[in-house]
Amino acid sequence: KNQVEQSPQSLIILEGKNCTLQCNYTVSPFSNLRWYKQDTGRGPVSLTIMTFSENTKSNGRYTATLDADTKQSSLHITASQLSDSASYICVVSANSGNTPLVFGKGTRLSVIA
Amino acid sequence: DTGVSQNPRHKITKRGQNVTFRCDPISEHNRLYWYRQTLGQGPEFLTYFQNEAQLEKSRLLSDRFSAERPKGSFSTLEIQRTEQGDSAMYLCASSLWGGTLANYGYTFGSGTRLTVV
């Protein structure tokens, strides 16, 4: 069964600190993996997208890594800001024309002053 | 292009009433998806279209739910005889699919928040 598991479920960090969110997946055949940021009451916004051959992708203070062998990904946030408080969702797309994306349940990040 | 647009942003309805939501995708995108998201959960797939054809429906899409994309552009999602359990955020997304492009440019709308009282 295609699944995406994220950890931790929630995380509280101090402003300015770094943090790393984890994503494990069993989606096959793999096409690409995305990280989205979702503010409360808003739709998800894409941060990064990585295909099978990519190991890392950065977007400002966000850096995503992908290990396609172990089927793991991480999202590292550097020098966190209060505005980083949101849910971060890992989404995996199967390389199949009729399969929608498979979503993780997200990690709820709270950045406090 | 202003991205994926959803209307209304919020809808409060009484149990038993019918509601309809609209989604306008990015104009060049041929695929359109509907998701439902409850508090603290990731989006759950409901259905998707490629152009005007509805290619897949989730088991979550009960008989009270119907979606259309008549001209392959905007889509509507209708819920008949709403129940309190239907309260959720309904998200629409669109993407370009074809050739080597697998869900290229997958973009979400801001969602419609439904509250059934």
Q: Give the pLDDT confidence of B50-97 residue by residue, as tens digits.
A: 999 999 888 888 899 999 999 889 999 999 999 999 999 999 999 888
Minimum Cα–Cα distance from A46: chain B residue: B107
The token pair at A88 is 């971060």
> Cα–Cα distance between B33 and B61 in angstroms, integer?
13
> Cα–Cα distance between B57 and B51 in angstroms, integer?
15
Per-residue tens of pLDDT for chain A, all 113 residues: 788 999 999 999 999 999 999 999 998 888 889 999 999 888 999 999 898 888 999 999 999 999 999 999 999 999 999 999 999 999 998 766 556 688 899 999 999 99
* Contact: B44, A103; criterion CB under 8 Å: yes
A23 contacts A72 by C-beta, under 8 angstroms: yes
Chain A contact set for B4 (CB, 8 A): 43
Chain A contact set for B54 (CB, 8 A): none
Residues with Cβ within 8 Å of residue A90, at least 6 apart in sequence: A4, A6, A21, A23, A25, A33, A34, A35, A73, A75, A103, A104, A106
Query: How many C-beta neighbours within 10 Å does residue A74 have?
Result: 16
The beta-carbon neighbor of B91 closest among A32, A43, A108 is: A43
Mean pLDDT (chain B, rounded): 91
pLDDT of residue B102: 63
- What is the residue-wise DSSP string for B53-71? EEEEE-TTS-TTEEEE-TT
Does the CB of A45 have a partner CB in chain B at under 8 Å?
A: yes
* Contact: B106, A108; criterion CB under 8 Å: no
pLDDT band at B106 (very low <50, low <70, confident <90, very high): confident
Half-sphere exposure at residue B72, Cβ-oriented, CA atoms within 13 angstroms: 8
Length of chain A: 113
The token pair at A18 is 């770094």
